[in-house]
């Protein structure tokens, strides 16, 4: 079973001004003359991490990571009390990816992403199919109401009733019928303590349920208050607006991907982005390889998911 390539450090980093007062952090590692690949992190608002470099063979790939607007090392940061998310939308991020590609002098690249990163990868590839050599997607998420309702409005409570009680605790009882909306108010409350309690509760729910077995280090990273508030605010902003997608847009337009080699990796026991969405994408994009991992949840570093992702990047490196 494949596992992470050795730890590496970037050979180049920078901040790219993308407009609207926003600057995004980016980095490149691996082989400067290798095959270009970009990794799109999840959330939205999750930020990049050193582990994401390690799903690519560093001798064969020029590995690009970046922090999307408002998170990670990008500025301004969404944890700031006066952070304005009006210019943080899916289509701003698609444009940012193109700006970064042009800035780095890359003609075409492999695009890899999981969870929200799969949503963004699909939006980018369906908009700019001529710029994508291959797609490697994991934990498919398209921000449809049925997906959001499952995880944030009570469906997954059937599996995690104990954790659900903690998730709804900050929300007044009479507002629990529309939790995404209620959290939107809490996350923008003028009181910092209210914002932080809501952000930590939101991020605790997500980080506690995304793996088949809980990972304490993942929960600790997600629930650091500054990270948690930015993460929860950006996610809530995107979910409230359904990603600025037309109904079923990403699956509807999957025919635009038919000439792009692709792999869809999906954990059977993914509670965050259940397998029905990956299956529907597979039906709409039959040209892609579909890998349903029998003993994995949502995250990319669970052994079965990781093996399938690295098998794909190794295959496409040739």
Give catalytic residues, as residue numbers.
115, 270, 298
Q: Which helix (H) or strand (E) holds 208?
A: helix 192-209
259: tokens are 């000439």
> How far is it, in rounded angstroms, from Cα 74 to Cα 68?
7
Contact 141, 116 (CB under 8 A): yes
> How far is it, in rounded angstroms, from Cα 284 to Cα 114?
18
216: tokens are 């304490």
**Exposed/middle/buried for 34, CB within 10 Å: 0-12, 13-18, 19+?**
middle
Residue corresponding to tokens 């952000």: 199
Half-sphere exposure for 55 (CA within 13 Å, toward CB) = 33
Q: Of 251, 250, 137, 150, whose CA–CA distance to 206 is shortest?
A: 150
> How far is it, in rounded angstroms, from Cα 306 to Cα 23?
31
Rg (CA), the chain: 18
> How far is it, in rounded angstroms, from Cα 284 to Cα 75?
37
The torsion region of residue 36 among left (phi > 0), alpha (psi -120 to 50) and beta comes to beta
> How far is it, in rounded angstroms, from Cα 218 to Cα 246?
33
Contact 70, 142 (CB under 8 A): no
Contact 239, 84 (CB under 8 A): no
3-class DSSP state of 216: helix
> How far is it, in rounded angstroms, from Cα 125 to Cα 133?
10
């Amino acid at each position: 079973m494949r596992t992470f390539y050795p730890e590496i450090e970037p050979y180049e980093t920078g901040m790219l001004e993308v407009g609207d007062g926003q600057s995004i952090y980016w980095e490149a590692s691996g082989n400067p003359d290798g095959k270009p690949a970009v990794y799109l992190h999840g959330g939205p608002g999750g930020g990049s991490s050193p582990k994401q470099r390690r799903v690519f063979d560093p001798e064969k790939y020029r590995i690009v990571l970046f922090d999307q607007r408002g998170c990670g090392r990008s500025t301004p940061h969404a944890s700031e009390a006066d952070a304005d998310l009006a210019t943080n939308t899916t289509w701003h991020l698609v444009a940012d990816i193109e700006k970064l590609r042009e800035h780095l002098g890359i003609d075409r690249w492999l695009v890899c992403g999981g969870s929200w990163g799969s949503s963004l990868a699909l939006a980018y590839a369906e908009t700019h199919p001529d710029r994508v050599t291959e797609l490697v997607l994991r934990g498919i998420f398209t921000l449809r109401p049925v997906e959001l309702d499952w995880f944030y409005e009570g469906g997954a409570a059937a599996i995690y009733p104990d954790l659900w009680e903690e998730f709804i605790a900050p929300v007044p009882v009479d507002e629990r019928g529309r939790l995404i909306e209620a959290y939107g108010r809490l996350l923008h409350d003028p009181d910092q303590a209210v914002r932080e309690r809501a952000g930590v509760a939101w991020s605790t729910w997500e980080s506690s349920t995304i793996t088949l077995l809980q990972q304490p280090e993942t929960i600790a990273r997600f629930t650091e208050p500054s990270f948690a508030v930015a993460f929860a605010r950006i996610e809530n902003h995107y979910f409230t607006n359904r990603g600025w997608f037309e109904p079923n847009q990403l699956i509807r337009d999957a025919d635009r991907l038919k000439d792009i080699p692709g792999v869809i990796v999906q954990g059977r026991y993914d509670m965050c982005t259940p397998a029905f969405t990956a299956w529907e994408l597979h039906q709409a994009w039959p040209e892609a390889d579909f890998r349903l991992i029998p003993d994995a949840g949502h995250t990319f570093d669970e052994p079965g998911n990781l093996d399938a992702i690295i098998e794909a990047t190794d295959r496409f490196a040739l």
